[in-house]
Structure 1
């Protein structure tokens, strides 16, 4: 798969996350509970993921592969996901979707830059050099300007 296609997928994923944030924030407002909206979203996400796996998986992991996975990896990603998404659903109706998504993006950009620099989570190292730091500052300033009323 070429680099352009991967970038396109990343942009599309960002669009999808904005759409789901807006729809599920509305669900949370109507249910009067962002946590309940998260539960509903995750229940249906589980169903959709199950169907996608059912029709696309080529090989089931072996028991040896499953046993080699550290215990904490089975639940920590889900914990951060439900907390982060619930915070999105809570803050979107209060801030507006563009303000919330762009503010959340600042958090993602800053944390992911640190995580990449130090190669946390077993991911590839992406050292912070002056060019990246200037780019990060420009993005953060741009988002601040977008949200300055």
Structure 2
């Protein structure tokens, strides 16, 4: 796939994540509990994911491929999702969506820089360069400017 198309898809994905954060944070306020909002969001996500699978997936994993998946991979991603998403839903109404998304992206960027440097999570290594460090520092300065009231 063309690199420009991938960039646009990533950008649009970020828009949808910010939208879902705002919408589900509002749901959490109405339900008076961000964990209930997370459960509702994940349940509806499950339904939509199954619909998309039925419509688009041609090759399903075999039973032996499923057995090869380490047990921890069946659960840890979901645990990280529940914690991260619930924290978003909890903090967006208190901090505002721009502040929360900015801080969340900063956390993602810092972690991804470290994970790339050291090859954490079985991902390919991406050396930490001066250019990347300048990018993180620049983003951090931007976040400070966004969050100062």
**How many Å separate the matches in 2 of 1:44 and 1:29?**
18
- 1:148 CA drift (Å): 1.3
Structure 1, gaps ≥5 residues long: none
TM-superposed deviation, 1:115: 0.5
Instruction: Give 2:52's aligned residue.
Output: 52
For structure 2, list consecutive stretches of 5 or more residues without a partner in the other structure: none
Q: Quote the residue 1:94 is aligned against.
A: 94
Give the secondary structure class of the aligned counterpart of 1:69. Answer: coil
Corresponding residue of 1:122: 122
Counterpart Cα distance in 1 of 2:130 and 2:32: 45
Match of 1:3 in 2: 3
Q: Which portions of structure 1, spanning 4 or more consecutive aligned residues, are displaced by more than 3 angstroms?
A: none
- Taking structure 2 as the reference length, the TM-score comes to 0.98
Over the aligned positions, Cα root-mean-square deviation in angstroms equals: 0.7
Q: Equivalent residue for 2:38?
A: 38
- What residue is the counterpart of 2:76 in the other structure? 76
Count of matched residue positions in the alignment of Structure 1 and Structure 2? 149
- Kindly state the Cα deviation for residue 56 of structure 1 after the two structures are TM-superposed: 0.8
